[in-house]
Amino acid sequence: MLIVRRDRAMTAVSLMLDIAFHVGRSGTVSAGDIAERLGLARRGMEPLLQALSRAGLLDSVRGPRGGYRLGRPQRDIRLAEIVAVALAEDEEATHGPGGRLQTAVVDRLWDELDELVRAQLQGLTLDDLIRRATAAGLRRPTAEPITFAI
């Protein structure tokens, strides 16, 4: 259920948003920088970054200027896709209370709420979140000019 496993889903959205927001002149964002900004352990987020890469939502670039970049334009990446990848990688079943009331009422309610959340996520893209960040006064980092000193 989406609502129950929201931490992993929100982490995936945060990773993707961080990359979209901070991608700079080099065209990539390092996993170390992402981890530092989000306050996450790099080792803990790597499997999620890899899953997003396998799904084509991210490109992974190796080398000294390597890191991650979006696999498609931010306007074409729906939050529902990001969440689906995160939840597919986390298939542990969550077991709550049992009984007739649970099955007949509470489980059905949770399914309805999940469907509402999924519909909302389907209507939002990374581009929408970037616009929200701008509206909140956040500014994307500007590329610093390269200067050489001899």
- Residues of the domain holding 127: 6-135
Q: Is residue 150 part of a domain?
A: no
pLDDT at 120 over 60: yes
What are the residues facing 58 on neighbouring strands?
A: 70
Say how many C-beta atoms besides its own lie within 10 A of residue 70's C-beta.
Answer: 19
Higher pLDDT pick, 95 / 10: 10
Q: Is residue 119 part of a domain?
A: yes
Q: Is residue 62 part of a domain?
A: yes
Which of 28-32, 105-109, 115-119, 141-145 has the weakest average pLDDT?
Answer: 141-145
Higher pLDDT pick, 117 / 65: 117
Domain count for the chain: 1
Of 47-56, 83-92, 106-115, 135-144, where does the model show the most confidence? 47-56
Question: Which residue, chain included where needed, has tokens 């696999």?
Answer: 71
Q: Using one digit for the tens of pLDDT, what is the confidence trace for 91-103?
A: 555 566 778 898 8
CATH (domain of 27)? 1.10.10.10
Q: Is residue 81 part of a domain?
A: yes
Q: Is residue 140 part of a domain?
A: no
pLDDT at 3 over 90: no
Q: Is residue 144 part of a domain?
A: no
Q: Is residue 147 part of a domain?
A: no
- What pLDDT is stored for residue 10 in this prediction? 92
Residue 92's contacts (CB-CB under 8 Å, 6 or more residues apart) are: none
Considering the chain, what is the average pLDDT of its residues? 87
Q: Is residue 67 part of a domain?
A: yes
